[in-house]
Amino acid sequence: MSSVDLTVPPLTQLTEDEQMLKEAASDFAETVIKPKVQEMDEAGRLDPDLITQFFEMGLMGIEVPEKYQGGGGSFFMGIVAIEQISRVDASAGVFMDVQNTLVNNAFLRWGSEEQKQQWLPLLANEKVGAYCLSEAGSGSDAFALKTTARKEGDSFILNGSKLWITNAKEAEIFLVFANVNPKAGYKGITAFIVEKNFDGFSVSKKENKLGIRASSTCEVILEDVSVPMENVLGEVGKGYKVAMETLNEGRIGIGAQMIGIAQGAFDASIAYTKERKQFGKSISEFQGVQFQLARMATDIETARLLVYNAARMKAAGQPFLKEAAMAKYYSSEVAESVSSLAVDLFGGYGYVKEYPVEKYYRDSKIGKIYEGTSNMQLQTIAKELLKG
Specify the amino acid at residue 360: Y
Q: Give the burial class of 332: count Cβ atoms within 10 A of its Cβ; 0-12 exposed, 13-18 middle, 19 or more buried.
A: buried
Could you give the CA distance from residue 242 to residue 274 in angstroms, rounded to a whole number? 49
Alpha helices in 98-238 (DSSP H): 105-110, 113-125
Residues 6+ apart with CB under 8 A from 109: 242, 245, 246
Q: Give the burial class of 216: count Cβ atoms within 10 A of its Cβ; 0-12 exposed, 13-18 middle, 19 or more buried.
A: buried
What is the structure's pLDDT at 2? Answer: 53
Give percent of the chain with pLDDT exceeding 70.
97
Q: Cα dist. 178→157, 187, 194, 363 in Å?
A: 10, 11, 11, 30
Q: Give the burial class of 369: count Cβ atoms within 10 A of its Cβ; 0-12 exposed, 13-18 middle, 19 or more buried.
A: middle
Residues 6+ apart with CB under 8 A from 16: none
Could you give the CA distance from residue 148 to residue 157 in angstroms, rounded to a whole number? 8
Could you give the CA distance from residue 353 to residue 40 in angstroms, rounded to a whole number? 13
Bridge partners of 175?
131, 193
- Tell me which H or E stretch contains 294: helix 287-315
pLDDT digits 0-9 by tens, 357-368: 999 999 999 999
Specify the amino acid at residue 306: L
Bridge partners of 226?
157
Give the up-direction half-sphere exposure of residue 217: CA atoms within 13 A in the CB hemisphere: 18
What is the structure's pLDDT at 10? Answer: 77
What is the structure's pLDDT at 4? Answer: 55
Alpha helices in 150-286 (DSSP H): 239-275
DSSP-derived secondary structure for 301-319: HHHHHHHHHHHHHHHTT--
C-alpha 69: how far from its chain's center? 22
Enumerate domains of the chain plus CATH numbers: 16-128 (1.10.540.10), 131-237 (2.40.110.10), 241-387 (1.20.140.10)
SS3 of residue 196 by DSSP: coil
**Among 63, 135, 323, 371, which one carries the catalytic annotation?**
371
SS3 of residue 165 by DSSP: strand
pLDDT digits 0-9 by tens, 289-323: 999 999 999 999 999 999 999 999 999 999 999 99
What is the structure's pLDDT at 11? Answer: 80
Specify the amino acid at residue 51: I
371 is catalytic: yes
Task: Give the chain's residues under pLDDT 70.
Answer: 1-8, 388
Residues 6+ apart with CB under 8 A from 56: none
